[in-house]
């Protein structure tokens, strides 16, 4: 695509000669001959590197070089340029966005399962990867970089995909990665403290999430969340609410029963009622399934067909994943890495017959420190034994992170063990397991790596458990 054609979307013209564009990026390391380099504020130091690698055009807020065009908002411009480069392929798709602190991956996966069971061609972009036409690829970001995302949209249209379900992260929304997309349905799961190291406070975090509903034709909102009214106020059009607690919601869950690993309830609306059975436990999965069922209905799938599809949904890798270890105790892997998600997982274990709950977890380094103490208190309160270890310490000293967790635990009767090395901590938990114990490995979930000061290292908890038990 020629520069002159590309720049029409941001209403400007090439400053010098017209050239063919090979790619668009805001990362100087990804520049190649023929690149357009979008230089955000604060990234000016990378300009010379981008030009040396072959950038033929620079987009910035101010004139940085001879072959540079200026725009008011570089992040919106970046997304618009990427959309134009791939001929606005997203307009051929029915887009569904899911946002919230917890539950995005499960809701998206449930909805993907329902649509596929209904014979729809569907794609999913989220934390655990990119699914399209039965092909799965790893993900680096929950909400991808705009160039990568629009490349995916282009691929989807080539295989006649109808629906694309996307997890919309707060960072992705704040950085305008989803601009100028319009969603057929936007889903709100919940909002609890997370990513405050990035957003600064809950108000900024909330406002980032609201962006999804400003650009959604229909909004499916969890009415039980304290931020529900904010999302409703931000919604541009039709709002559908769901609840476990409030009868004024459009959809409510009644007659809830839990068995061992099974959840059974009745979803009720003014003119609809249907029993739902899930292969996953916990109130939080009732919320997740209601969001998926309602969204499927808004996409034209009947409640009966959607509920029948969920009978055969067996969860998501790293979300309450019960490992097949063939022992007289259980090992469960879950991505729980916030106070609320850890509490919900531990509460859901109440439906399981058990001896003790052994919770092993750590907290991420270079991230929000305020949740460390809260997670420690929750783990100690709902567990019979706690093992504190590393998560993704990044550039922080793992022992300093553990100290922050211990400070939050305070005085407790629950035995707390500190084993900084996560592999050794897992092995210790397995050695201490007794009949009918449940070992919860929290925090890593689907991740098969650990990020330390040495970089990104292979670390798959499933393999570590299997190796130890063999």
Mean pLDDT for 218-245 is: 97
Of 310, 342, 359, the residue at which a domain comes to its end is 310
Contact 130, 149 (CB under 8 A): no
pLDDT, averaged across the chain: 94
The stretch 332-356 carries a mean pLDDT of 92
Residues 16 and 62 in one domain: yes
Residues 117 and 79 in one domain: no
Contact 425, 389 (CB under 8 A): yes
Residue with tokens 């691929």: 155
Backbone angles phi, psi at 258, to 5 degrees: -120, 135
pLDDT at res. 177: 95
- Here the tokens at position 49 are 């590197």
Pick the last residue of a domain from 280, 310, 340: 310
Range of the domain at 223: 89-310
Residue 131: band (very low, low, confident or very high) from pLDDT cuts 50, 70, 90: confident
Neighbours of 210 (CB within 10 A): 18
In this predicted structure, what is the pLDDT of residue 40? 97
- Give domain status of residue 316, yes or no: no
Identify whether residues 414 and 277 lie together within a single domain. no
**CA dist 342 → 321, 347, 379 (Å):** 14, 9, 8
Q: CA of 135: how far to CAs of 92, 121, 131, 140, in Å?
A: 20, 12, 6, 16
Q: Please check whether residues 288 and 215 belong to one and the same domain.
A: yes
117 and 166 fall within a common domain: yes
Give the number of domains in the chain.
Answer: 3
Same domain, 367 and 415: yes
Domain boundary among 83, 104, 121: 83
User: Is the domain of 331 the same as that of 286?
Assistant: no
In angstroms, the CA 453 to CA 390 distance is 12
Residue holding tokens 């569904």? 96
Per-residue confidence band for 384, with pLDDT thresholds at 50, 70 and 90 = very high
For residue 409, which phi and psi values (nearest 5 degrees)? -65, -45
Locus of tokens 């790293």: 318
**Residue 412 within a domain:** yes
The pLDDT of residue 225 is above 90 = yes
Domain-embedded: residue 315 = no
Q: Does one domain contain both 65 and 101?
A: no
* Residues facing 316 on adjacent strands: 319
**Is residue 291 assigned to a domain?**
yes
The region, left, alpha or beta by phi > 0 then psi within -120 to 50, assigned to residue 86 is: alpha
* CB atoms near residue 200 (< 10 Å): 10
With left for phi above 0 and alpha for psi between -120 and 50, is residue 131 left, alpha or beta?
A: beta
pLDDT digits (tens, 9 = 90+) for 152-192: 999 999 999 999 999 999 999 999 999 999 999 999 999 99
Give residue-wise pLDDT tens across range 249-305: 999 999 999 987 799 999 999 889 999 999 988 899 999 999 999 999 999 999 999
Q: Are 347 and 283 in contact (CB under 8 A)?
A: yes
In tens, the pLDDT along 186-204 reads 999 999 988 777 888 999 9
Within this chain, do residues 325 and 193 fall inside the same structural domain, yes or no?
no
For residue 247, is it within any domain?
yes
Strand partners, 251: 242
CATH number of the CATH domain containing 71: 3.40.1390.10
Contact between 304 and 336 under an 8 Å Cβ cutoff? The reply is no
The string over 117-131, giving b where at least 16 C-beta atoms fall within 10 Å of a residue's C-beta and e elsewhere, is bbebebbbbbbbbbb
């Amino acid at each position: 695509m020629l520069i002159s054609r590309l720049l029409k979307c941001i209403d400007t013209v090439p400053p010098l000669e017209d050239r063919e564009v090979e790619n668009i990026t805001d990362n100087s390391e990804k520049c190649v001959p023929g690149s357009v380099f979008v230089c955000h504020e604060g990234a000016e130091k990378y300009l010379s590197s981008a030009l040396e690698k072959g950038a033929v055009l620079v987009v910035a807020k101010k004139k940085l070089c001879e072959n540079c065009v200026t725009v008011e908002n570089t992040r919106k411009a970046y997304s618009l340029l990427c959309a134009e480069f791939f001929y606005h392929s997203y307009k051929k798709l029915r887009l569904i966005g899911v946002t919230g602190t917890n539950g995005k991956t499960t809701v998206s996966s449930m909805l993907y399962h329902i649509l596929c069971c209904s014979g729809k061609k569907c794609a999913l972009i989220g934390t655990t990867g990119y699914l399209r036409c039965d092909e799965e690829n790893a993900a680096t970001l929950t909400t991808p970089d705009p160039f990568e995302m629009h490349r995916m949209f282009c691929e989807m249209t080539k295989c006649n995909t109808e629906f694309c379900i996307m997890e919309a992260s707060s960072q992705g929304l704040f950085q305008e990665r989803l601009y100028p997309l319009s969603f057929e349905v936007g889903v709100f799961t919940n909002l609890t403290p997370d990513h405050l190291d990035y957003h600064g406070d809950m108000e900024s975090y909330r406002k980032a999430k609201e962006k999804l509903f400003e650009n959604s034709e229909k909004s499916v909102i969890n009415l039980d969340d304290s931020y529900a009214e904010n999302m409703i106020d931000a919604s541009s059009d039709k709002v559908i609410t769901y609840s476990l607690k409030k009868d004024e919601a459009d959809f409510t869950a009644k007659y809830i029963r839990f068995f061992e690993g099974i959840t059974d309830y009745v979803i009720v609306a003014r003119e609809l009622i249907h029993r739902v059975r899930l292969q996953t436990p916990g109130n939080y999965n009732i919320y997740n399934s209601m969001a998926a069922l309602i969204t499927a209905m808004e996409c034209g799938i009947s409640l009966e067909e959607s509920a029948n599809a969920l009978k055969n949904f067996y969860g998501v890798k790293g979300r309450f994943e019960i490992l097949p270890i063939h022992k007289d105790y259980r090992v469960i892997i879950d991505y729980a890495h916030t106070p609320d998600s850890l509490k919900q997982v531990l509460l859901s274990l109440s439906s399981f017959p058990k001896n003790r709950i052994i919770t092993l977890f750590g907290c991420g380094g270079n991230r929000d420190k305020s949740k460390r103490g809260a997670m420690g208190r929750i783990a100690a309160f709902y567990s019979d034994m706690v093992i504190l270890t590393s998560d993704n310490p990044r550039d922080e000293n793992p022992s300093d992170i553990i100290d922050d967790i211990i400070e939050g635990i305070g005085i407790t009767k629950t035995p707390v063990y500190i084993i900084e090395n996560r592999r050794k901590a897992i092995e210790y938990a397995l050695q201490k397991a007794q009949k009918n114990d449940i070992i919860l490995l929290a925090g890593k979930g689907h991740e098969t790596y650990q990020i330390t000061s040495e970089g990104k290292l292979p670390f798959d908890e499933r393999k570590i458990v299997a190796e130890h038990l063999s």
